[in-house]
Structures are given as C-alpha cells and as structure tokens.
Chain A
Amino acid sequence: MPEIHIAHPQFQPEPSVTAEQRQAASAAQEPSEVRRFLLSRGNSALADRSFQILMTLCALSIFGIVALIAIELIGNSRLAWHSFGLQFFFKAYIDPYTGLPTYWDPVNGHFSALPFVYGTLLSSLMALMLAVPLALGVAVFLTEMCPNFLRGPLAFLTELLAAIPSIIYGLWAIFVLVPLLREHVNPWLIKIFGWSGLFSDDNPTGLGFVSASVILAIMILPIISSLTREVMIAVPHSQREAVLALGATRWEMIRMGVLRNARIGIVGAIILGLGRALGETMAVTMVIGNSPEIHRSLLANGSSMAAVIANEFAEATNDLHRSALIEIGLALFIVTIIVNALARLLVWAVTRGAPARVN
C-alpha cells in the first residue's frame, strides 16, 4: 500500500482495527432477525407494475375526457358547420318585415353566432376593466402593506369569493345588484355619459351588459388577485431590498421591485380571469337580458355564448338549431382552452423563476 502523507498530526488515522479482526468479526456474525425477514420477502415486481399501470390510466383519462369532449362537439356541430361555414360567426340576416338586421331566429332558420360572440367578448372585457384594478390593489395590499393579523382573514375571504356557487351570484345580482344599478348607478351613467351613445336610457329593467359585467368582475376578482399575490410573493426579497437601498419610497419599491418583476405573471393572472369570464354561464344568463341583439348601448340587453346554450339547448326544436348551439359551444371550448393554456404558461414563467432568476 502506498504511504499516505498527512501533514497535520491531528489527522493521522488510528489503526485501531486490523483487516484480520474485521474479517473475523463479520464471519462470526449470524444474519439478524430483521435481515432474514427482509430477505424472505419477494421483489414485489407485480404489485409495483400494476400500481404503475393504474396510475398511468388515471392520468391518461384526463386526455381521454378532453378528447371525447372535442370529438362530441365537432361531430354534433357538423350540420351547422356545413350549412353556414365561417359565415356562422359574422353573418347578419335582414328581417323581411322590419328591415332591421337579425342574427338568431330559430323559427325562420336564421343562425348567426355574432351577437353571442359580441356579448361574451364585451361582458368579459368590461368585467376585466372593473376587476383588474381592484384585484391588483387587493394583491398589493395583501403582500406589501397588510398588517399581519389581517392578512390571513383577508386572503381567506378573497379566496372564499371563488367558492360561492355561480347561481348564488346570479340570485344576489337579481335581487341586490340589478336594482342597485337600476336605481342609483345607471341614471348617473346616462346623465354623464349619455352623449356618447354608450349609455342610453331605453332599457328600464336594469338587466344587460353593465349588470353582467359587474357580477362577472366580482366572480373573477379572487382568481386574479390570488394569482397576482402568488407571483408577487415569488419575487425575491433581495429585489425589494435593492430598490429600497436606492432610496425608494414604499410605492416606488412596489412598482420597480415587485410589479415590474411580476408583470408577466400578472398578465397571466389577468388572462386566466378572462378565461373564467368567457366561460361563466349561470350568473351571466340570469342578468344579461338574453336577447340576441347588438346595440351600441352598454345598458342594453344582450346575450353570451354560454347564456344562449344554457337557455335554448333543452328547447331546441330542430337538428340545425341544436347543431348551431353546439358549434357555439365548440368555439367557446377552443377559445377558453387556448386562453387558459396561455395564462398558465405566463404564471408558470414567473413562479418558476424564468425572468426573476437571480437569487
């Protein structure tokens, strides 16, 4: 054996046990009780294999479900697809009696998804305009300013908003929100912004896009604020310190050190909120007014893609009507899947630390 030279006397190994002693000791030893028990067990290969297959099947069933939904929607909307083509989403018919454009007239076989696409987009975007500032404010307050004793309860309450069933929101909207808007907000909107034509006073019900957007905004608030909070928390503390050390006030620190670093994730949170708003059905159906029309006024009645399916599917009188509804469903399905995938990707980019990869 080559001699190992160790300079420091403290590190000299002590040759307390010789190789012969070691060998003798291990030869004399009987296998212990535990050792014999463990040796007697099989290699469990079969159980392991079946477990693996079972879990893989569970995971694959997700793909299966999505694929089945897609196949069903595509198959059943074929009739409408073949009858109208892409025109389905743009066309306006002219009513022979009034001379006005009409879009959706199942009795006369006129089907155009335009007012529903318009309604879905308009109500969702208005909801975003209302919900985003509020949600950002909530998230900034919760992560940066909230006293500790309030943080837990407030975060919990925000999340709880997401757990309330959609139908409850709808009922609340009908009994509380709509009367409130009708009596106190809409007259004010008409008075101040009436000149723009966006708020006309020809709908006395209080139902319509404004009501639908407000209730949607409340419903998407928790998802946007909790995801924004998540991406803000993911911004490393060292970024906040870097800004503070330059002499920033708290607001400047939040703007430069937090929001700027979290912005991609915040965009993701907003898009995810959009995804929720696009697909939301029940509460919107209850307050949007359900008339397949396109008006300039935001106070007018309208309809949305989800609302028309919910309202008419059970009463669809003929195959073309049913097929047209399913095609609207297919379009909604594709759009929400794309929007959600995009949003998740953006949020993931921040929380997994892609741009804020320092520290």
Chain B
Amino acid sequence: MGVGIEVANLNAWYGSNHTLQDISLNIPANHATALIGPSGCGKSTFVRCLNRMHETNPIARVTGTVRMGGIDIYEDVKPVEIRRRVGMVFQRPNPFPTMSIYDNVAAGLKLNGYTNRKSLDEIVEKSLKNSALWDEVKDDLKKKSGASLSGGQQQRLCIARALAVDPEVLLMDEPASALDPVSTSKIEDLIFQLKTQYTIVIVTHNMQQAARVAEMTGFFLNGRMVEFDSTQKIFTNPSDKRTEDYITGRFG
C-alpha cells in the first residue's frame, strides 16, 4: 500500500541556482499526482527530492521537510533506506544491458540480499504482469538481455524493476516522453491500474496525459509551485491566471 507525502517549505539548489523555492503540498496516498510546467521549472528536481536522488549530485543542496508515512526522509533515515521504499522510473528507459530480463526485474531484491529463489520467481512474474510486459517476454526471461527490448518494452521493464521491491511510492519522471504514442498509451493504462495500489507522482510535459491519469495536478513555474488542486479544477477552472495561460497554450 502507498503512503501519503507531506512536503513543507522545500528548497533546492544546484550550485548557486535556486531551482525549487518554498514548495509545500500534500500528495495523497494511493492516487496519481501529476506535475506539469514548462521545461526547467523544477518539477523534475522536485520528484528527485522525494527519494533524495537530488543530492547525489555533489553541487546540489536541499532544505525543508518531506514526510512520507510519518517519517521525515531527510532527518530520520539514510538515503539508501528511503530509496528502497520509493521506486523511480526515469525519462529514458535505463535497463541494465548486461543483465537478462529476469535479472533486471530482480536487481533491486538481489541488491538487498533477497535470495529466496522460489519467491523471487513469483515476484518477477507478478511485477512483469503488473507492468503489462509478461506476455511479451515470458518465453525468454533469462535468454534475452534487458537492452534487446524495444523502447516501450524497456520502459515497462524499468517499471517492473521498480515494482519488484514493492515500493510505497512510485516516482515517474516523464516516463513516456521518449516513447511513441502506442507505448505511451500502454504506460498510461498501466499508471491508471497501479495508482490504486501505489502513491504515484508523475512528471509530464503532456497536459492530456496529466488530465488522463492523475487525480491531482500541480503546476510549477520558475521553481515555484503556482497551483496544486484536483486535476478537474486545474484543467477546467484554475484559480491562477498563469495556470490558465499555460494550460490553454498561451506560453510554455
């Protein structure tokens, strides 16, 4: 089951560049939340702060609090622990090219020393079914490498890899922006199914996508969050003029 995320006064920097300024919002558990906004507005930085990936860059810095299921992820735990509980899917599919499909999915578990072979098999199958890839790869799980799949399949493999560690939160940073329309719609269907079991935060450039998959939508601009509300409200009756300008295509 997913957990909610409470973000308060989150600030982030890359060097002297203040990329996120005073972000506060509550992301509801077991729902999909979309973050939209023009390139460079800080939405990717924001999701990277939710699993402390932002700080893997030596010049990056974060202040503020992020509470996930009652835990302050910047105070109470080490980054490694929080990343085990928060899955992440990146913009461009990044399966491990030297591993088989099976090993790609099992990578997170094997990394953490989970070796029960029988339940490993079950988890791999379940994760691949959850990511709607099972039927396409079940015959060559251990024969084919993760890199031999098509781009859309690779991205679903990456989703399966993230699901295999049974995360409480799934972060997706423009998961479909490098994919063709058919693969994109498969990923969207997937998000639609997964959001009942996981808390999903999805960054997207595609406003139709946000409208299709997410219950909540946040609009980011120049490192600030302009508006955060139900998707319905954001796309039909936004309170802020800048949100309205953006969703009607007047800029961005």
Of the listed stretches A133-141, A170-178, A241-249, A283-291, chain B binds A241-249
A242 touches B158 (CB 8 A): yes
By a CB distance below 8 angstroms, the chain B residues around A260 are 96, 98-99
Of the listed stretches A69-77, A110-118, A351-359, chain B binds A351-359
**Min distance, Cβ A351 to any Cβ of chain B, angstroms:** 14
Contact with B along A335-357 (1 / 0, CB 8 A): 00000000000000000000111
Interchain CA distance A239-B108 in the complex, whole Å: 13
By a CB distance below 8 angstroms, the chain A residues around B108 are 246-247
CB within 8 Å of B: which A198-252 residues: 236, 238-239, 241-249, 252
A239 touches B90 (CB 8 A): no
B147, CB-defined interface residue at 8 Å: yes
B83 touches A245 (CB 8 A): yes
Give the number of chain A interface residues (Cβ < 8 Å): 24
Contact with B along A248-260 (1 / 0, CB 8 A): 1100100011001
Contact partner, A256, options B96, B97, B146, B165, Cβ 8 Å: B96
B154, CB-defined interface residue at 8 Å: yes
**Min distance, Cβ B177 to any Cβ of chain A, angstroms:** 14
B107 touches A256 (CB 8 A): yes
A247 touches B83 (CB 8 A): yes
**Min distance, Cβ B91 to any Cβ of chain A, angstroms:** 9
By a CB distance below 8 angstroms, the chain B residues around A247 are 80-81, 83-85, 108, 111-112, 165
**Min distance, Cβ B157 to any Cβ of chain A, angstroms:** 11
B218, CB-defined interface residue at 8 Å: no
**Min distance, Cβ A257 to any Cβ of chain B, angstroms:** 8
B165 touches A359 (CB 8 A): no
**Min distance, Cβ B245 to any Cβ of chain A, angstroms:** 18
Contact with A along B85-97 (1 / 0, CB 8 A): 1011010111111
- Residues A261 and B83 in contact in the complex (CB < 8 Å), given A243-B111, A245-B88: no
Q: Which residue from chain A places its CB closest to the CB of B147 in the assembled complex? A: A358
B65, CB-defined interface residue at 8 Å: no
B217, CB-defined interface residue at 8 Å: no
B111 touches A358 (CB 8 A): no
B207, CB-defined interface residue at 8 Å: no
B56, CB-defined interface residue at 8 Å: yes
By a CB distance below 8 angstroms, the chain B residues around A356 are 97-98
Interchain CA distance A355-B94 in the complex, whole Å: 13
Q: 8 tightest A-B contacts by CB?
A: A247-B84, A246-B108, A245-B88, A238-B94, A247-B83, A242-B94, A358-B147, A356-B97
Can you name 20 A-B residue pairings with CB atoms under 8 Å? A148-B58, A236-B94, A241-B94, A242-B95, A242-B96, A242-B158, A243-B107, A245-B51, A246-B165, A247-B112, A247-B165, A256-B96, A257-B96, A260-B99, A261-B96, A355-B97, A355-B98, A357-B147, A358-B94, A358-B147
Interface contacts beyond A245-B162, A247-B80: sample of 6 additional A-B pairs, CB < 8 Å, sorted by A: A238-B94, A242-B96, A246-B161, A247-B108, A256-B111, A260-B98
